[in-house]
Structure 1
């Protein structure tokens, strides 16, 4: 057995062992995940593309109220409200991403449940994972809490309204304590006014009958010392759940004083008065402690809630406003005069702003009219599409081409205007534009008379100052005439190439026989001329074959038989095929095959790899190395990379070399035997596999050719 056969046998053995190990690991993983799947608290289901239930766990049976046998095979939409459409939701989710939403679940027993779902597409091909969570109880609890808070807000609004409707301070204070006691269900609520000498008294009170009154009772300075006044003047709020708790920090004398009024818990909020609220020339207002809004609980300790504390603070602010209003009444004329002068200035500024805005709007309208006239005069489709893929601007050409009025098109989704088939061809390009990329591609559209036209389409993203994509501009031009000329050219090239292939093949065979010397020997000069003729004939044969291959791929007169392939096998086939050429040029081929499953036509991928290897070998100096590697770049893509140590490619040529008959240096390419079609064929093959191909290079250091192919998910 040769070394090469032995190497292949060894590789097959390693591949078989690797496959066995992978199968065992997959089986262990499945055995580990099955109990998790069955014992999960959330309902987990696997569906097909139509939303038909294929596999469910025990939690799903409990949620739907049916057995597994009764659920499997049913559509998810059989149990949901009419607004939920599984296929529409699936089309809106990109592969590998998730979408979360809510739906109403209708059980066969008549019970309705609100459910939150998470949809993950293509966990395996055409199988989608749906996780359902019952949120009915959570929503009901949230609604109950919202209802309670609404009740409290309505009560607070009533108190505020009563305060605002009255100009009598005494009536405002009485309404405040009465409503606060009712809202908080407190035993006593009072307003305590602080006098400048440190003493004070309760001036308004609401108390239950079984507890003593504090109203009009004066308190000595010792009960409310100066340091307490300073703290409350700074906005201090105290919520004491138990006055006898040492952590409350109350002095013993103060506890003895409040025990005579049966106080077990208290909530104290300062009422601050703005002394300079009427003085407009003061840079900073001064606040002074006017009094306290106090709530008592007398039968037992009580923990005060945050909402109760917030309510008391807001009511204290309302009292402060009422105090300020009373103060403002004394200075009404001054305030009116100052405010009138201010309003006049504001009115003048506003009028000037209105005039400026009207002029700007008029200029904008004229500019928009000019732009629309220009856009309508151009024989191309010009439009603006927003983030939701809806038209926001269209020129007159849309109506001329499609037969739909601009009013009908405005606000419509791209799919509604172009139809589902055409939209599917443009969808990926639209998504790329909305991701911030400039996109140019070709498409086929049908005009209003039913005639199909070839068009060139360019999408230019609209990006704001925060680099957020707001939409994109669309430019569509008719290239049907150019396409027709290209088809005529391709047909001409095809006919000429077919006519040349037969005589060239015969001529090449005859020259090959002459070169071998079987029909006689020639002189040295004759033998040299014969070898030149044979070499150029072989180059012509390659050129004709490449032209025919490219024409067949571009015309669509071929069928790719895609199937699951091992990328390592394709790499080995290509390198073995190019090994003789590499040895002839003194170039070393280094490959790093990896067992990755791809979905491709193996013959065409091997052709692309051999074309790239041939270029790398031809343009590499002797004793140089060419590397061929493969790796995952995403969960759904495989990256092939071929790196050489050749002369490199200028940056300006990195894109054009993939066009037909494009070469970096035509004179050098003729020496190497290049036709200028190999890379064009590679690009067509990779694009037919829904992949991408590109080149990266540094002059004097070498080049790297890369292409991607779809990975096959197990």
Structure 2
């Protein structure tokens, strides 16, 4: 068993997250991001549609919702509107994932719904998502702590009021164990009273069925050795999250097992008016079947209630003394009665001086009592409320309706109600209140009256709204600046780095701040040169001419990759014009440089490919023009055939280049319609019939009738290219097979041949431009080296994939997929 006076406990940090997104890959990515956050623990439920998300919201009541703005059966705001329809003040613990970051109408709609934040789906990273969800989670956890504290204070006030209203110790005891068990959601709560020899009896109990009652059970002194009793006298608290790991004596463990008990929390009840024997008994709460980690608020609650019970003991003893006293003790009884009355008056004064409006209602919602705070809140004297309902007082209809519904719910279930309202302020505008409706019970456990506490949360609501708006603006600015921003001090130490730099370089913020920029984030061959320029320029003014406002140099990412950055550097100065550092804004031009390089290489290859047929045409025509072949008609015809063949090849090359360029730059809009797969494949086979007959190749097909959503001409173009290659590279009298298969999400096409096959190292490269296994193929087979690149572009624009499987000397199979329908 563990003993302690106080320690740090955390409110449950498990956060339930509802993720609503129709993209399975996006959901998996977001889940992976959140699971990488070691500072929070998330229980994530997934939904693909608005309907599924709403159903999970109603059944699970998650803490946080991550909602895609566009869903297959509606828009995300519809789900958010449904989630927040019972809240008078829009405030949703939800983050919207949207592609419309710049659409002010969407943003305004989300703000009106009370959405906590939003993220652009294209910009979501592990860091940004963990930061946003973590910040929202921290706020929720803080609210949990505040709510728990408020609920505990309300419970203490309620018990205190109960003690002062009822002098019967048994009734007070039952009220305490009942309220403690309900508040802590425990299996059993008891009050144990010690005898003088440390034996004792359970005098009050609240137990959750089906556990057997232990009321009036006697326990011998062997279960409470003198050392333990001494610790109880000193006010020590005994905490056992699991009795089997608490190092208890065998005798003590047997006693707990007889209840049964798995986890226990025990605080002593000490009488301040008995110095010789202050220990009266114990206030104990148990979990019968499962272990439990007891929180500090749980311990503090039992300690405060043990003090309240001690007051009740004292109060009960006074009451007993009054009952058994004779006339000789009348004066003393009067003094005790006056003392009790003074306590009651102090409590009433405390309620009257409370800034919160506190009212007691009967079961018909008629006001029996209301404190003076009502005049400041509603500009109505308390006396006008007595005997009336809020409806009769002509309070706002929406507030009255909610109050009546919540009171009915409380009377039906016995559960405390909590909600928020707005109310017209006497000073103009709106005030905001959190309402707690608390049942008050009689000795038989029946609800007799209802306590309503109106807590003014106006300043909190306005502050949260202002803070949320300020954070949204700053966060939006930082998230949408797609440039690197880095701030250095005069020592070259990083003092600031924005999220885009972290995203580009792959670092966490703590891995960057406080580190030397030059030795950690620049290539080794540049470190000394740039560091020297920086040091001289920032230390001595006359070296500033060497400081380049515009500079281009690479940085090193966490993975070791070099990224080329074009910088705009600015020197920062303090009010005394002293240099304090630099701020640099950089554009990642790595991809741009790669594109330039690819463009240059492409131009070089195209120039070579064009030059070859042009040279051949020029040579043939030159011989004809010179007249050398006038007397040799057969040779002249051969030269013309060469010129015609190379001209056709040149035309095909130019057409393929233009076609591929249009496809790659997305300037071709796919004209999609529903087509029959068999019809499209037959068109392609008919187109290749002459070539297959010429090469003595048989085209065999297995083509089911399947509807497909495609650009028919482009799909036929793809099939023709692949069939043409299969025919050209197949030996005579062999077969080419064309099949199509329907799978759950896509249609799979296969074109197989019995040709020479493709070496393994070329299986990926052959889909690149001008990439052929044998350079002589272009001349011998009449190809341009662009056909497979065009096929890949067409398939990818349809949302599919293309690949090849091949074995040398046995043939190749080209496969590609087309989704049933890309929305």
- Give TM-score scaled by structure 1 length: 0.40
- Give TM-score scaled by structure 2 length: 0.36
